[in-house]
Amino acid sequence: MALVTSKELMEAAAKEPVYAVGAFNAVNLETAQAIFTAAEEARSPLIIQFTQTSLGYTEVEGWVSVTEELIGSILSLARRASVPVAVHLDHGRSEEVAARFMDLGFSSVMIDGSLDEKGKAPRSAEENLAVTKAVVEKAHAKGISVEGEIGLLGQVGEEIPITPELEEKLSDPTKTAKLLDETAGPGYPGWPAGLTRPDEAAQFVEQTGLDLLAVGIGTKHGVYKGKPFIAHGLLQLLREALPVPLVMHGGTGVPDKDVTQGVQEGIRKINIDTQMRIAFYSAINRVMGEMNALHNLADITGETRKYDIRKVLAPAREAVKEQVINRMKVFGCAGRAF
Ligand code: G3H
Ligand code: ZN
């Protein structure tokens, strides 16, 4: 199966019975290997992604950079996979970074134009529009798909403050439409920050020509403090208003029933990162406990302690693979390789 674009995967996912394609962040060879193995085992189409902030791990002052080598391995694995795979830049924050990964061979990029290049200060709507249009123009000339973002998706640690009254309104499309009307003034007074407005999003998609849109529907990155609220009424209005597939960021911790309902309401790509990190951590914790017990025993029996990094990383790799397969089954993409 060749390397494909996200757009090709989205078109296949929109055919009945609809599904969402899992998009999983790889940070090193073990996580990449786990993600590809999961897709092969689950016979699932795959989006494997590398987020711009991971450059802080693959190219560090004073260390030999391994970015191109890791990306080269991921692209090589994608080309020889027996399932369709898109290799995607996640949360790219500048035209230069997006161009770099296009030149490396990525088949899909996200330009996260809602934040500045450092991912700190919000960009203005005009700046987001300009940088997104520039990336779309360059990417489409190369046959590469582009995901964009409008508004500020929930960042790590920030739940969107939603009252029970707002939850009730945002869960029903008719009540959400009324709320959109009531908050239509300059600056959208009373509209919860972090939630995407269909009118704004439709204009953004039309002006940029992007292929997928990350939407703010109540999710956020990282671990949720409470139970996440997914604005299903809003999601239904977004699907009606937008001619492009919708992307759920912050997939970790979203209850399976909200995921499957979201898929029926137009979510076609679901990003997962933290869930794999938790699996990796937990497996290492477990194995290190076992290793320490063996070392204590060796100290008592006088045997020499044994150290083997591979015996720590292999179970972590396996744990990540299991979580990826679990998500592919819930997203409905398991068994849908074409
Ligand atoms: O872009 C990556 C995802 O949005 C990660 O979200 O870490 O909450 O699974 P997550
Ligand atoms: Zn994200």
Distance 90 CA to ligand 2 centre (A): 7
245, 14 contact by CB (below 8 A)? yes
- Residue 336: inside a domain: no
Which residue from 25, 108, 215, 259 has its CB within 8 A of the most atoms of ligand 1, so it is best to mutate? Answer: 25
Contact status, residue 283 vs residue 319, Cβ threshold 8 Å:
yes
Comparing 81-95, 114-128, 166-180, the range with the smallest average pLDDT is 114-128
Lowest mean pLDDT among 2-6, 49-53, 91-95, 154-158: 154-158
Q: Quick check: is 292 in a domain?
A: no
> What is the chain's alpha carbon radius of gyration, rounded to the nearest angstrom?
21
Active site residue 116: no
Q: Is the CB of 147 under 6 A from ligand 1?
A: no
Q: How much distance in Å is there from the Cα of 222 to the middle of ligand 1?
A: 6
Report residue 216's pLDDT band, with 50, 70 and 90 as the boundaries. very high
* Domain annotation covers residue 123: yes
Tell me the CATH number at 114: 3.20.20.70
User: Above 90 in pLDDT, residue 265?
Assistant: yes
User: Could you give the percent of the chain with pLDDT greater than 70?
Assistant: 97
Report yes or no on 301 lying in a domain.
no
Q: How far apart are CA 227 and CA 273, in angstroms?
A: 18
Summarised one tens digit per residue, pLDDT across range 236-248 is 999 999 999 999 9
Q: What average pLDDT does this structure show over 171-188?
A: 95
pLDDT digits 0-9 by tens, 114-131: 888 888 888 899 999 999
Number of domains in the chain: 1
Does residue 298 belong to any structural domain of this protein? no
Beta-bridged to residue 246, according to DSSP, are 213, 267
For ligand 1, pick from 6, 21, 270, 273 the residue to mutate: most ligand atoms within 8 Å of CB: 273
276 lines ligand 1 (CB under 6 A): no
List 90, 112, 258, 273, catalytic entry: 90
The stretch 154-180 carries a mean pLDDT of 86
Instruction: Establish if 65 belongs to a structural domain.
Output: yes
Residue 40 has a pLDDT of 98
Contact 201, 144 (CB under 8 A): no
Specify the pTM: 0.97
Q: Residue 202 falls within a domain, yes or no?
A: yes
Q: Which of 24, 269, 272 to mutate to test the pocket of ligand 1 (most atoms within 8 A of CB)?
A: 272
Does a structural domain hold residue 170?
A: yes
- Rounded to a whole number, what is the distance in angstroms from the first to the last CA of the chain? 9
Closest atom of ligand 1 to CA, residue 153: 4
Domain hosting 243: range is 6-273+320-331
Low-confidence winner among 145-149, 161-165, 261-265 (lowest mean pLDDT): 161-165
* 80 — pLDDT class (breaks 50, 70, 90): very high
For Cα atoms 250, 272, 259, give the angle at the middle one, nearest 5 degrees. 70
Give the span between the Cα atoms of 10 and 245, in whole angstroms: 7
Give residue 273 CA to ligand 1 midpoint distance, Å: 5
Residue 331 has pLDDT above 60, yes or no: yes
What separation in Å is there between the alpha carbon of 297 and the centre of ligand 1? 41
- Ligand 1 contact via 323 beta carbon (within 6 Å): no
Q: Per-residue pLDDT averaged across 296-313, rounded?
A: 96
